């Protein structure tokens, strides 16, 4: 599955990724609160890297035409 993130609206990216993380971690039996706390413990780049760490096997983050690397 691919998720396209609108880089023009960075304020919504973090919120969206936290919601995806909640849904995915619950479905996969992961510790949702721990993952979300880790994601929120830094800036937006840290949040994206942490999301990719846990969920890159299931979700590919894209910004416009490019893959967002971890």
Q: Please state the domain extents for the chain.
A: 2-67
Q: What is the pTM of this model?
A: 0.81
pLDDT computed for residue 13 by the predictor: 87
pLDDT on residue 20: 93
Residues 19-69: pLDDT tens digits? 999 999 999 999 999 999 999 999 989 999 999 999 999 888 876 544 455
Determine how many CB atoms are found less than 10 A away from the CB of residue 26: 11
One-character DSSP codes across 22-52? HHHHHHHT--HHHHHHHHHTS-HHHHHHHHH
pLDDT of residue 7: 64
């Amino acid at each position: 599955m691919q998720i396209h993130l609108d880089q023009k609206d960075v304020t919504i990216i973090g919120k969206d990724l936290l919601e995806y993380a909640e849904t995915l971690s619950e479905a996969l039996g992961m510790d949702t609160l721990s993952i979300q706390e880790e994601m929120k413990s830094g800036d937006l780049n840290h949040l994206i890297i942490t999301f990719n760490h846990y969920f890159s096997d299931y979700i590919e983050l894209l910004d416009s035409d490019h893959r967002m690397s971890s």
